[in-house]
A and B are shown apart, each in its own frame.
Chain A
Amino acid sequence: MTRDHRAIAEIPWPVWIALALCLVLQFAWRATGPAPSAEDLPSAPRGGMLRLASFGEPAAAARLAMLYVQAFDLHANNSLAYRRLDYARLVAWLGAILDADPRSEYPLFAAARVYAEVPDEGRARLALEFIYEEFSKDPNRRWPWLTHAALLARHRLKDLPLALRYASAIEQRTTSDAVPLWARQMKIFILEDMNELEAAKILLGGLLAAGRIADPAERRFLQGRLDQLERRLRGGKEK
Chain B
Amino acid sequence: MPARLNSAATLARFALVEARRSGLPWLAVAALAAAIALAGFLSQLALTESLSLQVSVVAALLRAGAVFVIASHVAASTLREANDKGIELALSMPLSRSAYYLGRLAGFAALGAALAAVFSLPLLLWCAPYAVLCWGVSLAAETVLMAAAALFFSSALAQLAPALAASVGLYLLGRAIGAIQAIASGPLAADSAAQQAVRRSLDAVALLVPRLDLATRSEWLLYAAPGAGDWLRGVAPLVVYAALLAAAGLFDFHRRNL
Tell me the smallest distance from the CB of B244 to a CB of chain A, in Å.
20
Chain B residues, Cβ within 8 Å of A70: 45, 47
Q: Is the CB of B182 within 8 A of A215?
A: no
Q: In the complex, what residue of chain A is closest to B43 when comparing beta carbons?
A: A217
**Residue in A48, A59, A218 whose beta carbon sits within 8 Å of that of B222 in the complex:** A59
Q: Are B49 and A48 in contact (CB under 8 A)?
A: no
- Cα(A55)–Cα(B45), bound, Å: 23
Known contacts A60-B218, A110-B47, A48 near B182 by CB under 8 Å: yes
Task: Give the shortest distance, in Å, between B111 (CB) and chain A (any CB).
Answer: 23
User: Which of A54, A59, A67, A215 contacts B51, CB < 8 Å?
Assistant: A215
Report the Cα distance A221→B63, complex, angstroms: 31
Point out the residues of chain A lying under 8 angstroms from B179, CB to CB.
Answer: 48, 51-52, 54, 56
Name A184-239 residues within 8 Å CB distance of B. 215-218, 221
The residue that B56 contacts in the complex, of A57, A105, A216, with Cβ under 8 A, is A57
User: Interface-forming stretch among B83-91, B155-163, B170-178?
Assistant: B170-178
Q: Knowing A52-B176, A217-B43 touch, does A59 contact B56 (C-beta < 8 A)?
A: yes
Contact mask for chain A residues 38-62; partner B; CB cutoff 8 A; 1 contact, 0 none: 0000000011110110111111110
- What is the number of residues of chain A that contact chain B, defined by CB distance less than 8 Å? 33
Query: When the two chains form their complex, are residues B182 and A60 in contact, meaning their CB atoms are under 8 A apart?
Result: no
Contact pick for B47, options A47, A55, A58, A221, CB 8 Å: A221
Given contacts A109-B48, A110-B47, A216-B50, contact A52 B56 (CB under 8 A): no
A104 within 8 A of B: yes
CB of B188 closer than 8 Å to a CB of A: yes
How distant is B46 from chain A, measured CB to nearest CB, in Å? 5
Main secondary structure of the interface of B (DSSP, over half): helix
- In the assembled complex, how far is the CB of residue A103 from the closest CB belonging to chain B, in whole angstroms? 6
In the complex, chain B residues 163-200 whose Cβ is within 8 Å of any chain A Cβ: 172, 175-176, 178-180, 182-183, 186-188
Q: Which residues of B contact A215 (CB under 8 A)?
A: 48-52
Tally of contact residues, B, Cβ under 8 A = 34
Q: B47 contacts A103, CB within 8 Å?
A: no
Q: Residue A56 contacts which of B43, B178, B223 (CB distance < 8 angstroms)?
A: B178
Tell whether, in the assembled complex, residue A63 and residue B49 are in contact, meaning their CB atoms are under 8 Å apart: yes
Say yes or no: is A182 at the interface (Cβ < 8 Å to chain B). Answer: no
Chain A, 15-54, CB within 8 A of any chain B CB: 46-49, 51-52, 54
B134 to chain A, nearest CB (A): 15
Chain B contacts for A217, CB-based, 8 A: 43, 46-50
The interface residues of chain B lying within 8 Å CB-to-CB of A80 are: none
Q: Which residues of B43-90 are within 8 A (CB) of A? A: 43, 45-53, 56-57, 59-60, 63
Q: Are A67 and B45 in contact (CB under 8 A)?
A: yes
Q: Give chain A residues whose Cβ lies under 8 Å from the Cβ of B182.
A: 48, 51
Flag if A63 contacts B53 (CB, 8 Å). Answer: yes
Chain A residue contacts of B187, Cβ below 8 A: 47
Question: Is the beta-carbon distance between B49 and A55 smaller than 8 angstroms?
Answer: no
Q: Which of A74-125 contact B (CB under 8 A)?
A: 101, 103-106, 109-110, 113-114
User: Which residues from chain B sit less than 8 Å from chain A, CB to CB?
Assistant: 42-43, 45-53, 56-57, 59-60, 63, 172, 175-176, 178-180, 182-183, 186-188, 212-213, 217-219, 222-223
**26 A–B contacts from the bound complex (CB under 8 Å):** A47-B187, A47-B188, A49-B183, A51-B179, A51-B182, A52-B179, A55-B176, A56-B175, A56-B176, A57-B63, A57-B175, A59-B218, A59-B222, A61-B60, A63-B52, A63-B53, A67-B46, A101-B219, A106-B48, A110-B48, A113-B47, A114-B47, A215-B48, A215-B50, A217-B50, A218-B49
